[in-house]
Amino acid sequence: MAQRIRKAIFPVGGLGTRFLPATKAMPKEMLPVVDKPLIQYAVEEAQAAGIEEFIFVTGRSKTAIEDHFDHSYELETTLRERGKETQIAAVNSWMPRPGQIAYTRQQVPLGLGHAVWCARNLIGDEPFAVLLADDLILAERSCLKQMVEAQSATGGNMVAVMEVPHEHTNRYGIVDVARDDGRLVDVKGVVEKPDPAAAPSNLSIIGRYILQPEVFDRLERIGRGAGGEIQLTDALAELIRGGKPFHGLRFDGKRFDCGDKVGFLEANIAFALARPDMTEAVRKILDGQS
Ligand code: UTP
Q: Per residue in 176-221, pLDDT tens?
A: 999 999 999 999 999 989 999 999 999 999 999 999 999 999 999 9
Q: What is the rounded CA–CA span in Å between residue 162 and residue 262?
A: 19
pLDDT at 9 > cutoff 80 = yes
Coil, helix or strand at residue 141: coil
Kindly give the distance from the C-alpha atom of residue 109 to the centroid of ligand 1, in angstroms, as a whole number.
Answer: 8
Residue 155 lies in a domain: yes
- Take atom 9 of ligand 1 and give the residue whose Cα is closest: 16
Residue 179 lies in a domain: yes
Pair (61, 117) in one structural domain: yes
Radius of gyration of the chain (CA): 19
Kindly give the distance from the C-alpha atom of residue 33 to the centroid of ligand 1, in angstroms, as a whole number.
Answer: 18
Give the mean model confidence (pLDDT) for residues 97-108.
94
Pair (195, 265) in one structural domain: no
Pair (186, 270) in one structural domain: no
Helical ranges in the chain per DSSP H: 38-48, 63-68, 73-81, 85-92, 112-117, 120-123, 143-154, 215-222, 232-241, 261-273, 279-286
- Take atom 10 of ligand 1 and give the residue whose Cα is closest: 16
Residue 254 lies in a domain: yes
pLDDT of residue 243: 85
Q: What is the rounded CA–CA span in Å between residue 129 and residue 131?
A: 7
Residue 85 lies in a domain: yes
Residue 251 lies in a domain: yes
pLDDT band at 1 (very low <50, low <70, confident <90, very high): low
Pair (187, 284) in one structural domain: no
pLDDT at 77 > cutoff 70 = yes
Range of lowest pLDDT (20-24, 220-224, 258-262):
220-224
Residue 2 lies in a domain: no
Pocket test for ligand 1, best of 134, 204, 205, 257 (most atoms within 8 A of CB): 134
Pair (273, 173) in one structural domain: no
Number of domains in the chain: 2
Any atom of ligand 1 within 6 Å of the Cβ of 118: no
Any atom of ligand 1 within 6 Å of the Cβ of 86: no
132 vs 290, higher pLDDT: 132
- List C-alpha distances in Å: 173 to 35, 82, 205, 255: 30, 50, 5, 15
pLDDT band at 61 (very low <50, low <70, confident <90, very high): confident
Any atom of ligand 1 within 6 Å of the Cβ of 259: yes
Ligand 1 atom having least distance to the Cα of 108: 28
Domain that residue 273 falls in: 260-290
- Provide, rounded to the nearest whole percent, the portion of the chain with pLDDT above 90: 83
Pair (239, 219) in one structural domain: yes
Q: For the chain, give the mean pLDDT.
A: 94
Pair (113, 210) in one structural domain: yes
- Take atom 16 of ligand 1 and give the residue whose Cα is closest: 112
Residue 39 lies in a domain: yes
Pair (145, 268) in one structural domain: no
Pocket test for ligand 1, best of 9, 10, 15 (most atoms within 8 A of CB): 15
Pair (276, 212) in one structural domain: no
Pair (195, 288) in one structural domain: no
Residue 74 lies in a domain: yes
Per-residue model confidence as pLDDT tens digits over 235-266? 999 999 988 899 999 999 999 999 999 999 99
Pair (87, 182) in one structural domain: yes
Q: What is the rounded CA–CA span in Å between residue 49 and residue 60?
A: 29
Kindly give the distance from the C-alpha atom of residue 15 to the centroid of ligand 1, in angstroms, as a whole number.
Answer: 6
226 vs 190, higher pLDDT: 190
Q: What is the CATH number of the domain that holds 130?
A: 3.90.550.10
Pair (190, 289) in one structural domain: no
- List C-alpha distances in Å: 49 to 61, 72, 147, 207: 28, 26, 9, 15
Give the mean model confidence (pLDDT) for residues 121-131.
97
pLDDT of residue 147: 98
